[in-house]
């Protein structure tokens, strides 16, 4: 069994981190940031090999975009380290204090979870984000990335361990699984004696596999079948700007929109404009009503309403009002990020109250659903479940709590 070989190292790392103070952690993260800067050229070189292999294996443009690293993206990763350094340590905070009638004094404090496993696809930035957030929250991290990004992941892990070594921190606080045997994933999912939480980062199949097979607690980071609804009373210029950003800035990410809903009274006005602005690189798949407006487009299939394209494709539906839009979103959406474009305060309130999603936007792009954008420094995933975390999962979601009770001989 793979994990049994490393169990003692992981347990030892958990014990070390449980007593690691904020200054020590922040100093170590500074060393990691410097090591990434020093090894930037190595990471880019190794990533280029992964990207070349991805192209040979006909990986989609969207997945290649997630896999790709350049100097600018690595600079962004380094910046996220300093952002997390600047955040309050989530460990050791008193969240509840009470003195009972019998004199017992109760204090509830935040504590690390222990060891967090992250199972992810071809997203090398997840290697760093996961380490930074788990380390700052005093958790050991077990990483199982995709074989498609293995060279990139190893280069990033090497830089992390270089920084940790310079700071005098044991390397066992991070463990990257380099064996590509998929059976190891199932082992991780049931390793209750080693792993305290599993977080999947990837597509629908990976997430469903983890949630279905795990006996270890999980945070379901969902796919993003996100919608933009343009209401009857709307700002045309704003709608065009938001649509182009929410769909096209990066099509392969989970906070991009996949479906466009249009109020019936404005569909004939706005849809041709959106088509003219974007159809050179965006495929429109339309329902019967919108197809009559754009007859040269492809009719959408029924099963596509629940699909996350992660591509230059948008599904379009015309609805009678905001109520039908909400019903459609709650039926087919993935509870990730949903948007309404409207000048109606009443409809905005109805939409934000009734749409069941982790992030609901009024007149803003869904592309902001991101730990960095939300001021969390980084994220370890975007949760679409309601317990134990929802939305971008940051430091505050990577700790548990325990009660400390002080007495002077009280009995019950």
Count CA atoms within 13 Å of residue 50 on its CB side. 29
Taking 90 as the threshold, does the pLDDT of residue 386 lie above it?
A: no
- Distance, CA of 89 to CA of 112 (rounded, Å): 11
Average pLDDT over residues 68-97: 96
Assess contact for 384 and 221: CB atoms under 8 A. Answer: yes
The confidence score (pLDDT) of residue 62 equals 82
Instruction: Please choose, from the candidates 239, 201, 392, 226, the residue with its C-alpha nearest in 3D space to the C-alpha of residue 309.
Output: 226
Q: Domain 226-368, what fold? A: Aldehyde Dehydrogenase; Chain A, domain 2 (3.40.309)
The confidence score (pLDDT) of residue 296 equals 95
pLDDT, tens only, 165-218:
999 999 999 999 999 898 999 999 999 999 999 999 988 888 889 999 999 999
Please list the residue range(s) of the chain that carry CATH number 3.40.605.10.
Answer: 2-221+393-406
365: helix, strand or coil = coil
pLDDT, tens only, 236-280:
999 999 999 999 999 989 999 999 999 999 999 999 999 999 999
Please list the residue range(s) of the chain that carry CATH number 3.40.309.10.
Answer: 226-368
- Architecture of the domain delimited by 2-221+393-406: 3-Layer(aba) Sandwich (3.40)
What is the overall mean pLDDT for the chain? 96
Q: Report the 10 Å Cβ neighbour count for 170.
A: 15
Assess contact for 298 and 316: CB atoms under 8 A. Answer: no
205: helix, strand or coil = helix
Q: What is the CA radius of gyration of the chain?
A: 23
Taking 80 as the threshold, does the pLDDT of residue 222 lie above it?
A: no
Strand partners, 291: none
Count CA atoms within 13 Å of residue 80 on its CB side. 28
The confidence score (pLDDT) of residue 25 equals 99
pLDDT, tens only, 292-332:
999 999 999 999 999 999 999 999 999 999 999 999 999 99
Those residues with Cβ within 8 angstroms of residue 299's Cβ, 6 or more apart along the chain or in another chain: 285, 286, 287, 288, 291
């Amino acid at each position: 069994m793979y994990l049994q070989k490393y169990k003692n190292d992981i347990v030892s790392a958990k014990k070390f981190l449980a007593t690691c103070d904020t200054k020590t952690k922040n100093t170590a993260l500074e060393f990691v940031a410097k090591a990434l800067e020093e090894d930037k050229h190595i990471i880019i070189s190794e990533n280029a090999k992964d990207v070349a292999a991805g192209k040979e294996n006909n990986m989609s443009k969207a997945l290649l975009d997630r896999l790709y690293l350049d100097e600018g993206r690595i600079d962004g990763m380094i910046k996220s380290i300093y952002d997390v350094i600047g955040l309050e340590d989530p460990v050791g905070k008193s969240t509840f204090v009470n003195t009972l009638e019998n004199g017992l004094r109760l204090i509830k404090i935040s504590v690390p979870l222990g060891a967090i496993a992250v199972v992810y696809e071809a997203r090398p930035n997840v290697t760093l984000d996961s380490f930074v957030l788990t380390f700052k929250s005093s958790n050991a991290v077990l990483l199982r990335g995709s074989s498609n990004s293995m060279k990139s992941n190893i280069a990033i892990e090497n830089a992390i361990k270089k920084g940790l070594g310079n700071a005098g921190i044991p390397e066992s606080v991070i463990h990257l699984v380099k064996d590509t045997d998929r059976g190891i994933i199932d082992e991780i999912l049931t390793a209750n004696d080693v792993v305290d939480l599993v977080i999947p980062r990837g597509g629908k199949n990976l997430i469903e596999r983890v949630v279905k097979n795990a006996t270890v607690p999980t945070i379901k980071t969902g796919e993003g079948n996100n919608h933009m609804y343009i209401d009857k009373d709307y700002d045309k210029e704003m709608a065009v700007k938001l649509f182009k950003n929410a769909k096209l800035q990066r099509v392969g990410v989970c906070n991009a929109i996949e479906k466009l809903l249009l109020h019936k009274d404005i569909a004939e006005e706005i849809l041709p404009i959106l088509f003219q602005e974007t159809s050179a690189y965006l495929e429109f798949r339309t329902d019967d009503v919108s197809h009559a407006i754009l007859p040269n487009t492809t009719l959408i299939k029924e099963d596509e309403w629940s699909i996350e394209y992660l591509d230059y494709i948008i599904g379009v539906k015309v609805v009678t009002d905001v109520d039908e839009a909400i019903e459609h979103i709650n039926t087919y959406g993935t509870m990730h990020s949903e948007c309404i474009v409207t000048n109606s305060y009443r409809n905005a309130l109805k939409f934000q109250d009734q749409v069941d999603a982790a992030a609901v936007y009024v007149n803003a792009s869904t592309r902001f659903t991101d730990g960095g954008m939300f001021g969390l420094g980084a994220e370890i995933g975007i949760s679409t479940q309601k317990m134990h975390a929802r939305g971008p999962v940051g430091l505050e979601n990577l700790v548990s709590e325990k009660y400390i009770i002080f007495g002077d001989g009280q009995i019950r």
